[in-house]
């Protein structure tokens, strides 16, 4: 088990040279077979255009993300299929939120590429909705729930123009969908945690995007909110939207989601929930066996902070 298994054919330049695409392709095929034998799901997504289909809502290639030179995500490479409810699952500190933030350009990547429906994120922003974690904002802010939801329309409204009645109505419809219409005019600090989460969800709905990112929407919410979110997720799925959710509750993964990404500093595996949600994969995700990698990352951080004493 400890020994890496198959030995791919040796390519003369691969070691001394960094990027030789044909060699890459050749070795890739071998590696795929090799991993397939170990895990039920094969890796996908080599670096060519054909394999990152234009229709994929989210295609990440070779993404490495570092906080202050300390890598937190290694070489993420995945395609998310369209029209599915996708869960990102992994232990604390696995880089789940980081993955979303890097995909949304909120954090710089060390390397890699993110494509939303085949184009860079900058050009596709209008297709993407985002539900951040609830703690990221000051809930004492003087706005009503409706105002917050209307923020989802700002992208459509554009610079300088005020929020018109039409957009307000769209915002109210979004609130209706999360069963919050009766709280539309409440100041947001007077809402419970779950209701605040639903307001955030409604804001993303008001955007009417094709691809949604949600960062821990189920974190410490009441049962009513959880039901409302699940219902909205299914509505979105029925409308052909793709939703990517950072999730922390293993018990509900199979119930709520179609597609699963297991993450722990790297993509352990991804695929339809039924195939991927196995004991073996979970053990690989949650078993803390990457201590050496963390140690190496720590070493880099230290070195980059203080000069080495030689």
Q: Which residue in 85, 184, 201, 244 binds other proteins (CB under 8 A)?
A: 184
Collapsed DSSP state (helix, strand, coil) of residue 241: coil
Phi, psi (deg, nearest 5) at residue 165? -60, -35
Q: Answer yes or no: are the C-beta atoms of 175 and 184 closer than 8 Å.
A: yes
Q: Which residue in 93, 113, 224, 280 binds other proteins (CB under 8 A)?
A: 224
Q: Which residue in 50, 68, 138, 255 binds other proteins (CB under 8 A)?
A: 138
Residues 6+ positions from 206 with CB-CB distance below 8 Å: 149, 150, 152, 153, 170, 171, 173, 174
Residue 104 CB, nearest approach to other proteins (Å)? 5
CA 47 to mean position of chain CA atoms: 20
Size of interface with other proteins, in residues (CB under 8 A): 90
Helices 193-207 + 223-238 axis angle, to 10: 10
Q: Which residue in 57, 90, 132, 217 binds other proteins (CB under 8 A)?
A: 132
| Interface segment toward other proteins; rule CB under 8 A; list 51-59, 154-162, 235-243, 246-254 | 154-162
Please report whether residue 98 would count as binding other proteins according to CB under 8 A: no
Residue 55 CB, nearest approach to other proteins (Å)? 23
Please report whether residue 227 would count as binding other proteins according to CB under 8 A: no
Residues paired with 267 in a beta bridge: 263
Window 36 to 95, contacts with other proteins (CB under 8 A) = 38-39, 43, 46, 62, 64, 71, 74-75, 77
Please report whether residue 134 would count as binding other proteins according to CB under 8 A: no
Nearer of residues 239 and 299 to other proteins, judged by Cβ:
299
Q: Answer yes or no: are the C-beta atoms of 99 and 109 closer than 8 Å.
A: no
Window 228 to 257, contacts with other proteins (CB under 8 A) = none
Q: How far apart are CA 135 and CA 133, in angstroms?
A: 6
Q: How far apart are CA 48 and CA 250, in angstroms?
A: 34
Collapsed DSSP state (helix, strand, coil) of residue 212: strand
Residues paired with 245 in a beta bridge: 87, 214
Sign of the CA dihedral running 295, 297, 300, 301: negative
CA-wise closest residue to 264 among 250, 248, 284, 240: 284
Residue 114 CB, nearest approach to other proteins (Å)? 13
Q: Which residue in 70, 91, 118, 151 binds other proteins (CB under 8 A)?
A: 151
Q: Which residue in 40, 113, 220, 293 binds other proteins (CB under 8 A)?
A: 293
Residue 277 CB, nearest approach to other proteins (Å)? 17
Residue 176 CB, nearest approach to other proteins (Å)? 6
Please report whether residue 279 would count as binding other proteins according to CB under 8 A: no
């Amino acid at each position: 088990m400890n020994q890496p298994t198959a030995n791919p054919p040796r390519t003369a330049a691969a070691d001394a040279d960094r990027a030789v695409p044909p060699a890459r392709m050749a070795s890739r095929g071998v590696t795929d077979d090799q991993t397939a034998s170990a895990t039920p799901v094969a890796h996908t997504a080599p670096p060519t255009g054909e394999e990152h289909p234009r229709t994929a809502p989210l295609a990440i290639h070779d993404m490495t993300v570092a906080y202050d030179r300390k890598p937190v995500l290694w070489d993420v490479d995945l395609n998310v299929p369209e029209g599915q409810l996708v869960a990102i699952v992994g232990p604390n500190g696995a880089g789940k939120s980081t993955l979303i933030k890097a995909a949304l350009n909120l954090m710089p990547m060390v390397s890699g590429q993110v494509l939303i429906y085949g184009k860079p994120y900058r050009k596709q922003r209008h297709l993407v909705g985002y539900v951040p974690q609830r703690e990221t904002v000051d809930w004492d802010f003087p706005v009503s729930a409706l105002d917050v939801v209307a923020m989802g329309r700002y992208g459509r409204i554009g610079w300088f123009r005020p929020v018109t009645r039409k957009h307000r109505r769209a915002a109210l419809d979004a609130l209706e969908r999360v069963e919050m219409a009766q709280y539309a005019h409440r100041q947001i600090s007077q809402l419970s945690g779950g209701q605040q989460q639903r307001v955030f969800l409604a804001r993303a709905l008001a955007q009417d995007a094709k691809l949604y990112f949600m960062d821990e929407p189920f974190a410490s919410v009441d049962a009513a909110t959880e039901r409302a979110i699940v219902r909205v997720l299914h509505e979105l799925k029925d409308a052909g939207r793709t939703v990517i959710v950072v999730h922390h509750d293993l018990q509900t993964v199979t119930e709520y989601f179609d597609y699963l990404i297991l993450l722990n500093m790297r993509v352990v595996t991804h695929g339809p929930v039924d195939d991927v949600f196995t004991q073996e994969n979970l053990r690989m995700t949650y078993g803390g066996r990457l201590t050496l990698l963390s140690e190496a990352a720590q070493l880099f951080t230290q070195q980059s902070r203080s000069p080495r004493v030689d």
